[in-house]
């Protein structure tokens, strides 16, 4: 699990350092303060062998589809769009408990990203030859990943081909990392397949229990084969089973989180705007589920949020479970010198809540 993270020249972060990370890490800050960028940095750092597929999917989530100006998309990764400055993502890892209780040297990993330049693909030059047309375009990105056990190099030059959903699902499963964006509608068949794998392994009951936080009438979940493929249905005690995709945004959000946690043992789950689609009354139960599952399966969680109710619910969950050491808050403030990171332990957060201090 990641204990420290250093980000250099990535998106809005000129320099950002996170220390003392724990099992559950809440990322706070104003709009455009770099919370999502941290999640994306963690995802790239966790899937070093497949940067192109990761980039294509992340771009699609940001609204860039195939055929968009890929030079601009590549350059947007660099702080202030300065592609001459190398991106560096560095993390140290620890095994076992949080905080680490060993004096052994931690593991580490590092990802460096450089722009490669080439000529612009333009027909004609208006009768003149300009150097800007010869070396002005970002032709690709060179990724170099290093750790104590491996070194992987990849060059990405084409982002026009759409990455398949199955490709990223396979990558998530292989690497035990799942990224859930702020707003997404999960593919019904993929959800059914992921639940089926858990049911085969008899690990599906925690998912059902998590959904009962939103819908107490839920008795069971079952996968049903339809003409369009497999779909997950829920039994609410009515005459007809109900397709889960029709149960509302809250159910879909909790289902995505529960499936991610259940399928990421010894791995990582990245949640952007975790509270989206959830009524404030459901947050304590959702966070209790996250805290319990993360500890039971040894999953590290990074969750971005704007919600004070979400922060308080996470704090109440770890206090009620007597796992205060599992919670860490990191607030990002952008300054001219870089990103200032202010962090809180669960006990420091309790003091801030009692004195009505604003931590967001």
Q: What is the pLDDT of residue 166?
A: 47
Contact 309, 283 (CB under 8 A): yes
Q: How many CB atoms lie within 10 A of CB 320?
A: 12
Residue by residue, what is the 3-state secondary structure of the chain?
CEEEEEEEEECCEEEEEECCCCCEEEEEECCCCCHHHHHHHHHHHHCCCCHHHHHHHHHHHCCCCCCCCHHHHHHCCEHHHCCCCCEEEEEEECCCCCCCCCCCCCEEEEEEEEEEEECCCCCCCCCCCCHHHHHCEEEEEEEEEECCCCEEEEEECCCCCCCCHHHHHHHHHHHCEEEECCCCCCCHHHHHHHHHHHHHCCCCHHHHHHHCCCCCCCCEEEEEEECCEEEEEEECCCCCCEEHHHCCHHHHHHHHHHHHHHCCCCCEEEECCCCCCCCHHHHHHHHHHHHHHHHHHCCEEEEECCCHHHHHHHHHHHHHCCCHHHEEEEEEEEECCEEEEEEEEHHHHHHHHHCCCCCC
> What pLDDT digit, counting tens, does each position of 338-355 carry?
889 999 999 888 888 777
Q: What is the pLDDT of residue 57?
A: 83
360 residues of the chain, pLDDT tens digit each: 899 999 999 999 999 999 999 999 999 998 888 999 999 999 999 988 888 888 888 888 777 776 667 778 888 899 999 999 999 999 998 765 555 555 555 789 999 999 988 766 555 556 676 666 656 677 889 999 999 888 989 988 888 765 555 445 445 545 689 999 987 777 888 889 989 988 998 989 989 988 888 889 999 999 998 887 899 999 999 999 999 988 888 888 999 999 999 888 899 999 999 999 888 899 999 999 999 999 999 999 999 998 899 999 999 999 999 999 999 999 999 888 788 999 999 988 888 877 777 776
Give CA–CA dist 45/328, Å, rounded: 21
Q: What is the pLDDT of residue 352?
A: 82
Residue ranges and CATH numbers for the domains of the chain are 2-123+130-176+264-354 (3.40.50)
């Amino acid at each position: 699990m990641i204990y420290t993270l250093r980000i250099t020249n990535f998106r809005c972060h000129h320099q950002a350092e996170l220390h003392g990370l724990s099992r559950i890490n809440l990322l706070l800050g104003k709009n455009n303060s770099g919370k999502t960028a941290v999640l994306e940095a963690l995802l790239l750092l966790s899937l070093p062998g497949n940067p192109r597929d990761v980039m294509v999917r992340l771009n699609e989530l940001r609204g860039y589809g195939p055929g968009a100006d890929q030079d601009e998309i590549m350059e947007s990764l660099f702080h202030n769009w300065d592609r001459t400055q190398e991106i560096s993502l560095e993390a140290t890892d620890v095994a076992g408990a949080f905080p680490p209780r060993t004096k052994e040297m931690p593991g580490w990993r590092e990802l460096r990203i450089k722009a490669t330049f080439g000529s612009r693909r333009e027909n004609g030059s208006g009768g003149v030859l300009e150097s800007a047309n010869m070396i002005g375009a970002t032709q690709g990105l060179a990724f170099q990943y290093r750790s104590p056990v491996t070194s992987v190099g990849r060059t990405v030059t084409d982002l026009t081909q759409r990455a398949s959903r199955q490709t990223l699902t396979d990558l998530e499963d292989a690497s035990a990392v799942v990224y859930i964006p702020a707003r997404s509608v999960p593919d019904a068949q993929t959800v059914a397949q992921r639940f089926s794998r858990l049911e085969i392994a008899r690990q599906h009951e925690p998912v059902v229990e998590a959904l009962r936080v939103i819908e107490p009438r839920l008795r069971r979940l079952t996968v049903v084969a339809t003409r369009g493929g497999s779909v997950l249905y829920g039994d609410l005690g009515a005459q007809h089973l109900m397709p889960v995709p029709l149960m509302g945004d809250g159910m879909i959000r909790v289902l995505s989180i529960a499936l991610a946690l259940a399928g990421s043992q010894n791995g990582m789950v990245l949640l952007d705007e975790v509270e989206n689609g959830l009524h404030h009354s459901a947050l304590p139960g959702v966070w209790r589920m996250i805290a319990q599952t993360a500890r039971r399966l040894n999953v590290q969680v990074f969750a971005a949020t704007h919600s004070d109710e979400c922060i308080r619910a996470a704090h109440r969950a770890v206090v009620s479970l007597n796992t205060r050491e599992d919670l860490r808050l990191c607030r990002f403030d952008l300054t001219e010198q870089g990103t200032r990171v202010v962090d809180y332990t669960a006990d420091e957060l309790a003091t801030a809540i009692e004195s009505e201090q604003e931590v967001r």
